[in-house]
Amino acid sequence: MSRLYQSVQKAQKLLRSANLDTPQIAAELLELSHYRRDLDLSDLTPTEQAALISNRSVQILPSDDDLSARIAAAGESGITVKFGIDPTGAEIHLGHAVPMIVLSRFQRMGHNIVFIVGDITASIGDPSGRSDERPALTAEDIANNLASYQDQVSPFFDFSQAQFRKNSEWLADIKLPELLGTLSHIPTSMSLQREDFRNRLDAGHGLALSEFIYSVVMAIDSQKITADVELGGMDQLLNMQMGRKVMEISGQAPQLVVAMPLIEGTDGTGTKMSKSKDNYIPLTLAASDTFGRIMSIPDRLTLPYMRAWTEWTEPEIEDFEEACTEGRLHPMSLKKLLAADVVAVMHGKSAAIEARREFESRFSRRRFAALNDIPVINLTEHTDSSLSHLLVDVLAFASSKGEVRRIAKGGGLKIVWETNSDQQTDRLTERQINNSLTSIVKPPEEDSEAVAYVKMGRRLARITT
């Protein structure tokens, strides 16, 4: 029996207990999930390893069986697994953590991990999914961005047993004849099959030649390190397939491709987590802020995030879901388990416990009245002001009306009525953001002395008259 299977059995016994909504159970579950992060997976068979990778991916090319066979053929020496990221910004976020968690599994299975920072490819800019050209980055921009990358991702890997490389190590020395020799074997149609390229050309937008060959330059990374597997998001699928083509041109066995799901942003609008949408959680965020941001997500994202960010297996996640359905676990408690799990990875188990305690002290029921450091909105002063105007221009809770609308759509905009003994929450809709706060704030009939608060995500303001 493998170590992972033993751990799953222990967790499922706990998850099927009568009541999961207790501090003791929460502590035991955090202990189990934290233990799982460092669990040695080398006792899994090649088929079991491939299955553990496959159950968190969207697609493996050519197939799961090919991955199992590649692992078996490598034996004790292990396969070489590549993951690359371009330093186009200074922060790595939890959207990037999805493939990194699977990369960590490969390492704990005993394989050879190569984490590549694209300091050369960043100067081109990945055109995937873009409708226009990415602004050019200077060498200084790139150097500043990648300065802390290894530190940011170090919680996921043991870099004493893994490689952290910059692709300038080989791309800076590529000679023109070598590049032309590779390009001469790649049909133009291979790049033109990209929908984003076709859309840009059809719309009359620019498409630089450097963008056109971006996937080829990135593919050379795979050739130079002789990758067996490349991990990346589904938006990188065509780029990773180019890696197979370039390796084939150079006479190498083409790498396998493990395409990971793209994670939805925290605002609940359905868009991908990204810095440009401001719906992301950076890895550099403080423990309490990370915990709070996860607690502010729509409930429907809790289980998808558990699949993306934790080491719980699918049977265990199904047990979590069943416990919520049966009332043995409150959805808020499940979200706290997720938040603690993520914080424990980045900041340690003690920090996760403290972040949970701080959150419960500050944001639990019947606690708002005790807070002194929150802004105040006076209804008399803002009789005709729309809710969106107050949130954007007065409170600065959002940068635009569109952001307010997205958060309302995701269920994150509320009016909270608080008394000494109770709390009532009214969720606001997208249509109500144009209404005046005066028309929205109507005290509960049973208690005209209740104090009102407007809550947007984790941001809170008291309403006075």
Over its C-alpha atoms, the chain yields an Rg (Å, rounded) of 25
For residue 194, the model assigns a pLDDT of 74
Task: Let me know the angle formed at the C-alpha of 29 by 99 and 334, rounded to the nearest 5 degrees.
Answer: 75
- Mean pLDDT in the chain? 88
Residue 71: HSE in the Cβ half-sphere, 13 Å Cα cutoff: 24
Closest CA to 85 of 260, 208, 212, 255: 260
**Is the Cβ–Cβ distance between 299 and 266 less than 8 Å?**
no
Residue 256, beta-bridge partner list: 229
For residue 183, the model assigns a pLDDT of 93
* pLDDT tens digits for range 436-450: 887 888 766 555 677
- Residue type at 414 in one-letter notation: K
Cis peptide before 444 (omega within 30 of 0): no
215: helix, strand or coil: helix
Mean pLDDT score, 59-74? 98
Angle between helices 349-363 and 287-295 (to 10 degrees): 60
Rounded Cα distance between 297 and 305, Å, is: 10
Rounded Cα distance between 454 and 428, Å, is: 10
- How far does CA 43 lie from the centroid of its chain? 29
**To the nearest whole percent, how much of the chain has pLDDT over 90?**
55
Residues with Cβ < 8 Å from 90, sequence gap 6 or more? 144, 145, 147, 148
124 or 370, greater pLDDT: 124
DSSP 1-18: --HHHHHHHHHHHHHTSS
- How far does CA 264 lie from the centroid of its chain? 8
Rounded Cα distance between 463 and 451, Å, is: 7
Fold of 370-464: 3.10.290
28, 31, 32, 37: CA torsion to nearest 10 = 160
CA distances from 317 to 135, 162, 310, 420 (A): 41, 30, 10, 37
**Is the Cβ–Cβ distance between 218 and 170 less than 8 Å?**
no
pLDDT confidence band for 185 (50 / 70 / 90): very high
302: helix, strand or coil: helix
Rounded Cα distance between 87 and 145, Å, is: 6
Rounded Cα distance between 102 and 121, Å, is: 23
Angle between helices 23-37 and 331-347 (to 10 degrees): 40
Rounded Cα distance between 190 and 63, Å, is: 21
Task: Let me know the angle formed at the C-alpha of 92 by 127 and 117, rounded to the nearest 5 degrees.
Answer: 65
Round to the nearest angstrom and report the end-to-end CA distance of the chain. 66
Rounded Cα distance between 238 and 246, Å, is: 12
Closest CA to 212 of 189, 231, 232, 234: 189
CA distances from 298 to 39, 200, 270 (A): 31, 34, 11
316, 295, 354, 31: CA torsion to nearest 10 = 0
pTM value is: 0.76
Residue 119: HSE in the Cβ half-sphere, 13 Å Cα cutoff: 20
Say if residue 372's pLDDT is above 60: yes
CATH code for the domain defined by 1-56+262-364: 1.10.240.10
For residue 120, the model assigns a pLDDT of 93
Rounded Cα distance between 184 and 216, Å, is: 11
Residues with Cβ < 8 Å from 376, sequence gap 6 or more? 461, 462, 463, 464
pLDDT confidence band for 131 (50 / 70 / 90): very low
Q: Pairing state of beta strands 413-418 and 451-456?
A: antiparallel
For residue 244, the model assigns a pLDDT of 97
Mean pLDDT score, 283-292? 94
Residue-range domain boundaries for the chain = 1-56+262-364, 57-70+77-260, 370-464
For residue 210, the model assigns a pLDDT of 82
b/e sequence 446-458, b meaning 16+ C-beta within 10 Å = eeeebbbbbbbbb
Q: Superfamily assignment of 57-70+77-260 in CATH?
A: HUPs (3.40.50.620)
For residue 448, the model assigns a pLDDT of 60
Which DSSP helix (H) or strand (E) runs through 171?
A: helix 168-171
Say if residue 96's pLDDT is above 60: yes
